[in-house]
Structure 1
Amino acid sequence: MIKTITYHLRDVIPYINWIYFFHAWGFPPRFAGIADVHDCAGCRAGWLNQFSEEEKARATEAMRLYDDARQMLTKLDATYHSYVRFGLYDANSDGDNLVFWSDEEGDAKKEFRLPLLRQQQKKTEGPFLCLSDYVRPVSHGIRDKVGVFCATVDEEIEHLYEKDEDYDPFVHMLCQTLADRMAEASVEKMHEEVRKIYWGYAPDEQLSIKDLLLERFQGIRPAVGYPSLPDQSTNFDLDAWLDFSRIGIRITETGAMIPHASVSGLILAHPQAKYFAVGKIGEDQLQDYASRKGKPVDAIRKFLTANL
C-alpha cells in the first residue's frame, strides 16, 4: 500500500523534539527542558532557578526563543501544512540487499532491489551490521515487510521573511529551524500510525510522546543520509518507488531534497532492530556496492566520501 497524509501543523507540533530545535540554535540539551514546563509564571520561574547564576542569562534566552517559536508555530498553523507519503511493501533481504516485491500479480510481478552497506571496521565485539539483517531472508520463502517514507512541509515556510520589506534574519532562521522540526515531527506521528494502524504490528502500543521521542517503540526508521543509511543517492531509488514529487519534494543531482525541510528513509519492524553507524568501508565493499547498484565506482564514490 502507498498512502499520502496531509497534516495540520497543530497535529504534529506535539511531536516536535525540542532538543534538536535548541541544538540548531547552539543550546545544549538541558535548555530544551523549557518545553516540558507548565506555562504558569511559578513553574517557569522554578525552571529558571535551577540554573546557576552563570547560566541564568542563557536560560532566559532559551525561554524567550521557545516563546518566539510557539508564537510562530501558531501563526504558521493558520496557513501551512506538512505532508507524508509512505509505502508498505512485501520485502525480503538477499545478502546486503533489500528486495521489494510489487503488488502486481503473476508474471507481471516486479522485483526492486535496494543495495545497502555493512559495517566493515574492526570491532572488539558484536556482529558487523547491515540494515538487511533486520528483514527475513528471501531464502526462507516467506515474505516480510519494509516501509519507505518521505516527508516535508510547505516550501514557502523556508522562505518567509527572507527578502524585501519582510526581511528579518532572526525570524527567517526561526521559520527554517521550525520547518525542519515539523518535517521530523510529521514522520514521528506517521510512524506511530504505521505501527498501530496501517502496518499494525504494534496495535496495542500505548506510549507517551516523551516515550516516542526516546524511541521506546518496536522498530526503527533509518533516514537517508544518516549513519546507518549514509548514501544520499538512495533517494533516487526510493523516489522511483514512492514518487516524492507527489508531496512536492524535488531531488537534486546530489541526492539532496528540496524543500530542505524534508526527510526520507525506511521503516523496519524487527524487535531487535537498532540504529548503528556503517562507518568506514573498504575499496572492496565500495566496488561491490557500486556493482550491486549498477553504477560506475567513481559515480558512487562521490556519495560516500565520509565513509571512505
Structure 2
Amino acid sequence: MVYVASEMERQKFEVPLLIGGATTSRKHTAVKIEEKYSSSVIHVIDASRCVGMVSKLLNPDHKKELVHKTKKEYKTIRETFYQNQQKLKILPINEARNRKPNLVYNPFQPQNPEIQKIESISLNELKDYIDWSPFFHAWEFKGTYPGILNDSEKGVEAGKLFNDAQNMLASLIESKSLTVKAVFGIFPAQSKEEEVHLIKNDITFNFPRQLIDKGNKPNFCLADYISPNGDDHIGVFTVTAGHGLEKLVEQFESDHDDYNAIMVKVLADRYAEAATEWLHEKIRKNEWGYDSNQIYSKEELIREKYQGIRPAPGYPSCPDHAEKDKIWKLLDVENAIGVSLTESRAMWPTASVCGFYFSHPESQYFSVLKNI
C-alpha cells in the first residue's frame, strides 16, 4: 500500500486513495501511507463501507470538510505515534526470549490428524453461527446486535436492513447459490524459539516475538504455545464462502441494483466468518478433541470463551502475510477448494479466511507491536 501511494504520487494522480481491509488501521494509514501521497488518503475500516465514503467524496461540500478533517486527524495520530515511539524501550531478542511466558505443556493428541476437505457446508446450518454486529458495522451502523434493533435513533432503519438481510439469506439457502468449502489439517509440530517446525513436513512457520519492554509481563510469541519436546500439534485451515458470489454480484449490478450487490458481498463475508467459527468448533470437539465436552452459547462463541485460538497471517500476532504461502503449500489449498493467492497474498474469492489452530489452554491473542 505504501508502494501504491508512492506510485500514485510519482504518476501525479489526484483521485482519493481509500485504504481498507481487516489488516489495516487508521494509525498505519496515517503513519506509513498518508504522507506518501499529496492527494487525499482515507482509511475505510471495511470494503463494504466504501460506498458511503465515496458518496461523501463525490459531494464537493462534504469532500472538502472530510479531507480537511481527515488530514488534521492523521497529523495528530502521527505526532502521538512518534512521541510514544521515543518512550518505548525495545529489548534485544535474547532478553525478550528470557521473558517468554512460563507454560506447562501437556499436549492433547488429535483424533483425526490427516488433511481433510469439505466440499460443501450447509448454509442453513451456518446461519446460526453468524455474528451480526459486524454486518451492521459494514453498513455504518454503530452498535451491537441485537441491541441495535431497539436503539431509539437507529432501530427502525437497522430493523429494515436486518429484514432485508434475512430475506436474502433465505434466498441464498434455498437457491444454494453460494458454496462454502473448507480444507484443514492437524500436524505434528515442535517449537524452537520463534519457529514452529512441522515434524513430518518440510515446512517451518515463523512467528515474531514481542520486543517491547513490558516490565514484569511476558513477551509473547505464538511459537510459545507449541511444546518444544516434539510431542505437540498445530492446525492450519482455509475456508471460503466466495464460490458463486461473483455471479450473484454481476446479476445485481446488471440490474443496477447496487444495494443488493453490496448486501450479498457483506453476507458472503459473514458466511465466511461463520464457517470459520463452525469449523473451529468441529476441530475442538471432534477432529482434535481437546475441548470435546464443553458446550458454548452463541454469545460465548462470539466472545471466544473456548480453549484455543485461531490467529491468521496478517493479524497482530502474525503480521507477515508470507506465512500464507506455507499454508497453501501444506494444504494444497487452490486445488482443494479453489482459493488462490494474489501477488500481494490477498485471497480470491475474497470471502475467504485462513489461519492456524493452537490448542494450548493458556494461548491468547496479542499484538507483537504493542504492550499487550
**Alignment RMSD (CA, Å):** 1.9
Contact 1:158 1:179 in 2 (8 A): no
The residue identity in structure 1 corresponding to 2:348 is: I
| 1:32-71 aligned within 5 A | 32-33=145-146, 48=150, 51-52=151-152, 55=153, 58-71=154-167
**Kindly tell me: are residues 66 and 9 of structure 1, through their superposed partners in 2, closer, same or farther at Cα, counting changes over 3 Å?**
same
Cα deviation for residue 154 of structure 1 reads: 3.6
Identify the residue that residue 11 of structure 1 maps to in structure 2.
125
Contact 1:183 1:262 in 2 (8 A): yes
Contact 1:158 1:172 in 2 (8 A): no
The reply on whether 1:268 has 2:333 as its aligned counterpart is: no
Q: Report how many residues are paired.
A: 253
Structure 1 range deviating more: 154-163 or 80-89: 154-163
> Percent same amino acid among aligned pairs?
37
Counterpart secondary structure, 1:65 = helix
Q: d(CA) in 2 for partners of 1:248 and 1:69?
A: 27
Find 2:244's aligned residue among 147, 151, 156.
Answer: 156
Unpaired runs of 5+ in structure 2?
Answer: 1-113
Contact 2:226 2:358 in 1 (8 A): yes
Cα deviation for residue 251 of structure 1 reads: 0.5
| 1:12-161 aligned within 5 A | 12-30=126-144, 32-33=145-146, 48=150, 51-52=151-152, 55=153, 58-77=154-173, 78-79=175-176, 80-102=178-200, 110-137=201-228, 140=229, 142-161=230-249
**Kindly tell me: are residues 157 and 59 of structure 1, through their superposed partners in 2, closer, same or farther at Cα, counting changes over 3 Å?**
same
Contact 1:161 1:167 in 2 (8 A): no
Q: d(CA) in 1 for partners of 2:330 and 2:172?
A: 31
In the superposition, the TM-score normalised over structure 2's length comes to 0.65
Q: d(CA) in 2 for partners of 1:277 and 1:15?
A: 26
Q: d(CA) in 2 for partners of 1:271 and 1:70?
A: 37
Find 1:2's aligned residue among 93, 112, 115.
Answer: 115
| 1:128-277 aligned within 5 A | 128-137=219-228, 140=229, 142-162=230-250, 165-245=254-334, 246-277=336-367
Q: d(CA) in 1 for partners of 2:208 and 2:347?
A: 21
Counterpart secondary structure, 2:227 = coil
Contact 2:242 2:352 in 1 (8 A): no
Q: d(CA) in 1 for partners of 2:249 and 2:355?
A: 30
Q: d(CA) in 2 for partners of 1:131 and 1:29?
A: 32
Q: d(CA) in 2 for partners of 1:169 and 1:121?
A: 46
1:40-93 CA-to-partner distances (Å, cap 9, x unmatched) read xxxxxxx63xx34xx1xx211111111111111111112222111110001111
Q: d(CA) in 2 for partners of 1:193 and 1:87?
A: 12
Contact 1:84 1:152 in 2 (8 A): yes
The residue identity in structure 2 corresponding to 1:121 is: I
Unpaired runs of 5+ in structure 1?
Answer: 36-46, 103-109, 281-308
Contact 1:161 1:168 in 2 (8 A): no
**Kindly tell me: are residues 265 and 252 of structure 1, through their superposed partners in 2, closer, same or farther at Cα, counting changes over 3 Å?**
same
**Kindly tell me: are residues 158 and 176 of structure 1, through their superposed partners in 2, closer, same or farther at Cα, counting changes over 3 Å?**
farther
Structure 1 range deviating more: 229-238 or 120-129: 120-129
Cα deviation for residue 155 of structure 1 reads: 2.9
The residue identity in structure 1 corresponding to 2:134 is: Y
Contact 1:162 1:169 in 2 (8 A): no
1:105-133 CA-to-partner distances (Å, cap 9, x unmatched) read xxxxx432111111122324411111001
The residue identity in structure 1 corresponding to 2:158 is: A
1:255-286 CA-to-partner distances (Å, cap 9, x unmatched) read 11001111100000000000001117xxxxxx
The residue identity in structure 2 corresponding to 1:89 is: F
Which structure is richer in relative contact order (CA contacts within 8 A, separation 6 or more)?
1
Q: d(CA) in 2 for partners of 1:34 and 1:168?
A: 29
The residue identity in structure 1 corresponding to 2:123 is: L
In the superposition, the TM-score normalised over structure 1's length comes to 0.78
Q: d(CA) in 1 for partners of 2:306 and 2:193?
A: 27
Q: d(CA) in 1 for partners of 2:349 and 2:202?
A: 30
Q: d(CA) in 1 for partners of 2:351 and 2:141?
A: 20
The residue identity in structure 1 corresponding to 2:133 is: I
The residue identity in structure 2 corresponding to 1:33 is: P
The residue identity in structure 2 corresponding to 1:168 is: D
Q: d(CA) in 2 for partners of 1:184 and 1:193?
A: 14
Cα deviation for residue 34 of structure 1 reads: 5.5
Q: d(CA) in 2 for partners of 1:158 and 1:276?
A: 35
Q: d(CA) in 2 for partners of 1:92 and 1:122?
A: 27
